[in-house]
Every structure is written in C-alpha cells, then in structure tokens.
C-alpha cells in the first residue's frame, strides 16, 4: 500500500462565479476531515492556507484538541487532530509527504481528458509506488492551475440522479472518496 495523505486547499479555489479566491477556514472541516483521514489510515491531513492568521487559527484548533482541554474531554478526537498539519502551500504539503510524492486532484466534474477512474485509482494505491497526496478544494472547487499541476485527476463520485445533481459538501466528498479508494469489506 502506498503512503497516502489528503490536503484541503483554501487557495487557489473557485467561487460560485468561477473567480479564483481564497476561502476562509471552517472549523468543522478540520474536525470532520481529520476524523475521516485517521479512520481510513492516512498518513496526514494537510490544511493549506496562504494567510498567516488563518494558519494560526487552524493551529490553535489543533492544539486545543491535541494538547488542550478538548483532547481531555474527548480523547478519541486527539489522534485524529494530531495528524493535521498546517502548511502555506500545496508545494509545502508535497515536500513534507515525500520528495517524489504525486498530486492527485479531485472535483465534482470530470476535469480534462486524462481522468483516473476510482476502481483503477484504488488498484494503483494498493501497488507499490510513490506517496500520493489527494487534493480537495473548498469553495466551488480547485482552480484549473491545481489540476494542471497534478499527475492524476480522479473521476468524480458518480451521480445516481437522472438530473445529475451532485452537490456534496467537501466533508461528505472526502468521506465517500476515501471509502471508495481505501474502504474495507464487501463494497456492494
């Protein structure tokens, strides 16, 4: 099994008009994605934000749960938040994960021509190879420049609706994707 981590990007991401923006950190993203990442055995969960004050906020949340009273009150939360790492760029996350780490991007729609289908991605993760960083975007998703820098674009979670509606929160999308890529037990 390859080493796997995920990253939540707050810049460069899209707003609902398609403009490139910087999103604010959402407390519940840090909790939910830490818990999901740790439950699925990831090496780390990188919170990526270019603004110092926002990174400090994320660090304070982490410390409250790892060293502070939060962790004493809910000890189960501690190991999950302990693998959260706050970095200023995607490059810093990749460098921390390993020199040859690959970037795989995610989106709610198919991006470009070279889409890696989820069953094939699952198989690749189980065969030896470089570490993989799975990147998720806040706001309306990752900016095109992030996809352009990636070794693979994961296929979106297929919609079950005739109208194609697919408007999951990033917290739900991370959960479903990690289960599809790494989950145990008979899938269906």
* Strands 132-137, 13-14: pairing kind: unpaired
3-state SS, 12-72, equals CEECCCCCEECCCCCHHHHHHHHHHHHHCCCCEEEEECCCHHHHHHHHHHHHHHHCCHHHH
**Of positions 69, 76, 99, 109, contacts its own copies by CB under 8 A:** 76
Q: How many residues does the chain have?
A: 188
Q: Which of residues 14-73 bind its own copies (CB under 8 A)?
A: 16, 28, 31-32, 35-36, 38-41
92 vs 157, which CB is nearer to its own copies? Answer: 157
**Which segment (43-51, 64-72, 99-107, 168-176) binds its own copies by CB under 8 A?**
168-176
Size of the site for its own copies (CB under 8 A): 44
Write down the least CB distance from residue 95 to its own copies, Å: 27
Strand 102-105 to strand 152-154: parallel, antiparallel, or no bridges (unpaired)? parallel
Distances (CA, A) of 133 to 93, 138, 146, 167: 8, 16, 12, 23
Considering the complex, state which of residue 101 and residue 173 has its C-beta at the smaller distance from its own copies: 173
* Burial category of 58 from C-beta neighbours within 10 Å (exposed 0-12, middle 13-18, buried 19 and up): buried
Q: CB-wise, 109 or 161, nearer to its own copies?
A: 161
Q: Report the site for its own copies in 88-147 (rule: CB under 8 A).
A: 117-119, 122
Of positions 56, 63, 110, 169, contacts its own copies by CB under 8 A: 169
Residues near its own copies (CB under 8 A):
16, 28, 31-32, 35-36, 38-41, 74, 76-77, 79-80, 117-119, 122, 157-161, 165-169, 171-176, 179-180, 182-188
């Amino acid at each position: 099994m390859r080493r796997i981590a995920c990253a939540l990007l707050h810049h460069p991401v899209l707003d609902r008009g398609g403009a490139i923006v910087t999103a604010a950190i959402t407390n519940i993203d840090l909790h939910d994605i830490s818990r999901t990442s740790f439950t699925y055995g990831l090496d780390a969960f990188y919170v990526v934000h270019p603004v110092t004050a926002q990174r400090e906020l994320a660090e304070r949340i982490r410390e409250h749960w790892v060293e502070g009273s939060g962790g004493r009150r809910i000890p189960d939360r501690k190991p999950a938040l302990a693998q959260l790492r706050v970095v200023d760029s995607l490059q810093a996350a990749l460098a921390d994960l390993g020199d040859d780490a690959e970037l795989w991007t995610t989106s709610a729609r198919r991006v470009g021509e070279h889409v890696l289908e989820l069953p094939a991605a699952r198989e690749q993760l189980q065969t030896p190879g470089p570490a993989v960083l799975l990147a998720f975007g806040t706001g309306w998703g990752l900016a095109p420049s992030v996809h352009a820098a990636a070794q693979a674009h994961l296929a979106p979670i297929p919609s079950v609706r005739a109208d194609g509606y697919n408007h999951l929160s990033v917290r739900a999308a991370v959960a479903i994707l990690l289960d599809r890529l790494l989950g145990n037990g008979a899938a269906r």
